[in-house]
């Protein structure tokens, strides 16, 4: 059952939800929740992920009660929605709004390790995001007319893929951080794709929509994905925001980039 708690309790976990999964008891909890609370979490059974419990978390700037647009934050392999929120998203969001950035919400969801696209097993974490998570956000008091995508590593690839698939009419901005990109199926990490056909069907290279969506790509100069990321940027029709700076494929680099990424996304998301 979904749980509605304050930030101290929510550090224990986070995840995803589908619109049809919200019970009357959850709606009653939401109605009585403290409007100053900055985070809520819940769990739902995702059909797109094969019927497994999937947890979600929503962070709002302190004191925000009006409908906000959302950035969907996609975690990397081996991570979770809870780890995304523990990585500084909530505090960074609050600081940005206090400094004058337009307010928005950040939504994290557990997506497993399937690289945010449909797999031969039938699991489809990408469809979970677009067909289950985003529709339910309206029931959580968010404005789903347009969303942003932010992701790290596997999630950076997922942000590019899902943002492009949702299209420029619905995707306000994409920020891909240290994206897990490879130049060929043979170079991909084991388990990232089900083979060459799966790699080709879910490639983010050459997607026309990425030329029409505001895009930021950040990557450390010591990141193992730096070379592929440079080639990916070179084939884009318009140079993205962001760029390369000293750092590796790790939480220290990602935390350092987060304030700038939030400040970049805020006006685009709320325009």
Q: Is residue 35 pLDDT above 60, yes or no? A: no
Share above pLDDT 70 across residues of the chain, in percent, rounded to a whole number: 86
Tell me, what's the pLDDT at 9?
28
Mean pLDDT within 184-203: 97
State the Cα–Cα distance between residues 11 and 103, nearest whole angstrom. Answer: 22
Q: Is residue 144 pLDDT above 60, yes or no? A: yes
State the Cα–Cα distance between residues 11 and 177, nearest whole angstrom. Answer: 23
- Name the helix (H) or strand (E) containing 241: strand 241-245
Are 70 and 142 in contact by the 8 Å Cβ rule? The answer is yes
Residue of 19 and 244 predicted with greater confidence = 244
Distance separating the N- and C-terminal Cα atoms of the chain: 35
pLDDT tens by residue, 257-271: 999 999 999 999 987
Tell me, what's the pLDDT at 13?
30
DSSP label at residue 179: -
Q: Is residue 217 pLDDT above 80, yes or no? A: yes
Q: Is residue 16 pLDDT above 60, yes or no? A: no
Residue of 6 and 243 predicted with greater confidence = 243
Q: Is residue 103 pLDDT above 70, yes or no? A: yes
Confidence of residue 198 (pLDDT cuts 50, 70, 90): very high
pLDDT tens by residue, 230-250: 999 999 999 999 999 999 999
Q: Is residue 17 pLDDT above 70, yes or no? A: no
Backbone angles phi, psi at 267, to 5 degrees: -65, -30
Domains of the chain, earliest start first: 7-270 (3.40.50.1820)
Q: Is residue 19 pLDDT above 80, yes or no? A: no
Confidence of residue 65 (pLDDT cuts 50, 70, 90): confident
Mean pLDDT within 170-191: 97
CA atoms within 13 A on the CB side of 18: 18
What strands lie across the sheet with 105-109, from one edge to the other?
A: 39-46, 52-59, 105-109, 68-74, 142-152, 171-177, 215-220, 241-245
Average pLDDT, the chain: 87
Residue of 43 and 30 predicted with greater confidence = 43
Mean pLDDT within 188-213: 97
* pTM given for the model: 0.86
Q: Is residue 24 pLDDT above 50, yes or no? A: no
Tell me, what's the pLDDT at 38?
85
Share above pLDDT 90 across residues of the chain, in percent, rounded to a whole number: 77
Q: Is 30 helix (H, G, I), strand (E, B) or coil?
A: helix
Q: Is residue 6 pLDDT above 60, yes or no? A: no
Tell me, what's the pLDDT at 37?
53
Tell me, what's the pLDDT at 270?
82
């Amino acid at each position: 059952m979904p749980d509605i708690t304050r930030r101290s309790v929510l550090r224990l976990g986070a995840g995803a939800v589908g619109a049809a999964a919200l019970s009357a008891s959850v709606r009653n909890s939401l109605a009585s929740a403290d409007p100053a609370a900055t985070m809520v979490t819940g769990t739902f059974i995702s059909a797109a992920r094969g019927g497994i419990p999937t947890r979600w978390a929503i962070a709002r700037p302190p004191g925000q009660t009006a409908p906000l647009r959302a950035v969907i934050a996609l975690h990397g392999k081996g991570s979770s929605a809870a780890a995304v929120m523990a990585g500084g998203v909530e505090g960074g969001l609050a600081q940005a709004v206090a400094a004058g950035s337009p307010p928005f919400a950040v939504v994290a969801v557990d997506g497993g390790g399937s690289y945010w696209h449909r797999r031969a097993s039938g699991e489809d974490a990408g469809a979970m995001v677009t067909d289950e998570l985003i529709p339910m956000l309206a029931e959580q008091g968010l404005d789903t007319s347009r969303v942003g995508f932010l992701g790290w590593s596997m999630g950076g690839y997922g942000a590019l893929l899902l943002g492009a698939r949702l299209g420029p009419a619905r995707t306000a901005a994409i920020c891909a951080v240290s994206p897990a990109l490879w130049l060929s199926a043979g170079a991909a990490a084991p388990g990232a794709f089900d083979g060459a056909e799966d790699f080709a069907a879910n490639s983010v290279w050459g997607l026309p929509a990425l030329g029409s969506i505001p895009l930021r790509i950040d990557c450390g100069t010591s990141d193992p994905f730096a070379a592929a990321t440079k080639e990916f940027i070179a084939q884009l029709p318009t140079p993205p925001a962001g760029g390369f700076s000293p750092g590796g494929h790790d939480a220290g680099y990602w935390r350092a980039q987060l304030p700038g990424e939030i400040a970049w996304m805020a006006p685009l998301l709320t325009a």
